[in-house]
Amino acid sequence: MASLLKASSNVFLSEKLPFLSRSKTREGVVPKKVTFRSAPVTLSLSTSTGTVEHDPISNSPDIAIPIMVNGCAGKMGKSVIQAADSAGLHVVPVSFDAEKNSGQTVELCGKKILVHGPSDRERILASVFQEYPNLIVVDYTVPAAVNDNAELYGKVGVPFVMGTTGGDRDQLYKTVEESKVYAVISPQMGKQVVAFLAAMEIMAEQFPGAFSGYSLQVMESHQAGKLDTSGTAKAIISCFQKLGVSFDMDQIQMIRDPKQQVEMVGVPEEHLSGHAFHLYHLTSPDQTVSFEFQHNVCGRSIYAEGTVDAVLFLAKKVKLKADKRIYNMIDVLREGNMR
């Protein structure tokens, strides 16, 4: 920890990061591009994702687990299908999505997947589960569908991986607990980002109040189609709050405008449709010390690969009839390499 956290004093004495000014609106326009200069403290995770590659051993028939990817018409759903196919999993030719996508056929990795709308979902899912008794459902739909979908999975009794953010999370966990279905629930499926979050949680637990009096500014930039505030940002802010920082979630600066993302945040244009850039900036009360944490992700394969690991992990727990039913990505990390 000490090697990562080195403070420099008398830096940013009166300077404020312009794009994080609290006088701005949550999606305020900033006139000039932010340059990520050398900061007093920087913990940076930056990954640009391309072709998904897996260990050839993953193609063994022993792990040909059937998965149903709901939201397969979306970009994240398609990325999961590609990662799952590469890992040797069996993608069933059925998916649930919004009514507007009902009746569509998604063709990917040599498969034709029929998309069904909200109507008659219980009968269809029960039929698929009967045909594939080892089925794991993967959910990458929309925040508004999270709770209804979880109730459906619980009612049918099918294990699921919930990668969709948003919804009523307390109700989500209550639904799973009452149904006693197996599930991995995580607002962040990228294992490396989860490891960073776990480190933050350890720091918050062991050093409560260490940053008392410090001010916090948070920026998160995602593709325009992401409607809700980043769950990862909320989780990390929660850690800072335990460390003594006063911050309200509505102070998060959400960047969804492509022009701002390129000019202000520095997102490569080719990744405007799929990225996650986060910046957390802490300043001491007298503004002589500042800390900065940053993690940038381009593309979606980091999440898709993490999702596949979550599927393999959950299938193992179901097979072992584990007592614990609800898991997160930290549990998946602790299990070690799943492939």
Of 46-55, 224-233, 242-251, 289-298, give the lowest mean pLDDT range.
Answer: 46-55
pLDDT, residue 11, reads 33
Q: Is the dihedral of CA 79, 327, 235, 203 positive or negative?
A: negative
Helix 169-179, helix 146-156: angle, nearest 10: 0
226 included as an active-site residue: yes
Cβ atoms within 10 A of the Cβ of 109, count? 13
Q: Helices (H) and strands (E) in the chain — how many of each?
A: 9, 14
Q: Rounded to the nearest 10 degrees, how much is the dihedral formed by the CA atoms of 116, 85, 267, 187?
A: 60
Tokens of 294: 């940053």
211 neighbors 292 (Cβ within 8 angstroms): no
Cα–Cα distances in angstroms (integers) from residue 204 to residues 41, 150, 237, in the given order: 17, 31, 11
Whether the predicted pLDDT of 9 surpasses 60 = no
Cα–Cα distances in angstroms (integers) from residue 175 to residues 37, 41, 157, 180, 181, in the given order: 46, 41, 12, 8, 9
d(CA 277, CA 295): 6
pLDDT, residue 40, reads 38
Backbone angles phi, psi at 35, to 5 degrees: -105, 130
Tokens of 312: 């393999």
pLDDT, residue 166, reads 86
pLDDT, residue 288, reads 98
Banded pLDDT at 21 (limits 50, 70, 90): very low
pLDDT, residue 119, reads 87
Q: For the segment 26-46, what is each residue's pLDDT rounded down to a tens digit?
A: 343 333 444 433 333 334 444
d(CA 275, CA 261): 10
Instruction: Collapse the DSSP code of 297 into the 3-class scheme (helix H, G, I; strand E, B; otherwise coil) and give the result.
Output: strand
Q: In what order do the strands lie in the sheet with 111-116?
A: 94-96, 111-116, 105-108
Of 96-110, 182-196, 325-339, give the lowest mean pLDDT range.
Answer: 325-339
24 included as an active-site residue: no
- State how beta strands 90-91 and 183-185 pair: unpaired
Tokens of 243: 């460390």
193 neighbors 295 (Cβ within 8 angstroms): yes
d(CA 255, CA 220): 6
pLDDT, residue 183, reads 98
Q: How many residues does the structure list for the chain? A: 339
pLDDT, residue 228, reads 87
Banded pLDDT at 335 (limits 50, 70, 90): confident
Of 164-168, 219-223, 317-321, give the lowest mean pLDDT range.
Answer: 164-168
Helices (H), the chain: 75-86, 121-131, 146-156, 169-179, 191-206, 231-242, 258-260, 301-320, 329-335
Banded pLDDT at 152 (limits 50, 70, 90): very high
Candidates 238, 251, 144; CA nearest to 198 is 238
pLDDT, residue 319, reads 96
Banded pLDDT at 17 (limits 50, 70, 90): very low
Residues in a beta bridge with 107: 112
pLDDT, residue 1, reads 41
pLDDT, residue 104, reads 92
d(CA 210, CA 203): 9
Query: Does 100 or 311 have the greater pLDDT score?
Result: 311
Cβ atoms within 10 A of the Cβ of 229, count? 19
Active-site option among 78, 116, 191, 222: 222
Candidates 233, 261, 232; CA nearest to 34 is 261
Candidates 226, 228, 254, 247; CA nearest to 29 is 254
Which residue ranges form the domains of the chain, and what is each CATH number? 66-190+301-335 (3.40.50.720), 191-299 (3.30.360.10)
Q: For the segment 252-264, what is each residue's pLDDT rounded down to a tens digit?
A: 999 999 999 999 9
Of 46-60, 147-161, 251-265, 316-330, give the lowest mean pLDDT range.
Answer: 46-60
Whether the predicted pLDDT of 61 surpasses 70 = no
pLDDT, residue 42, reads 38
Instruction: Collapse the DSSP code of 247 into the 3-class scheme (helix H, G, I; strand E, B; otherwise coil) and give the result.
Output: coil
- Computed over every residue of the chain, the mean pLDDT equals 84
Q: For the segment 214-248, what is each residue's pLDDT rounded down to a tens digit?
A: 999 999 999 998 888 998 899 999 999 999 999 99
Active-site option among 78, 116, 191, 226: 226
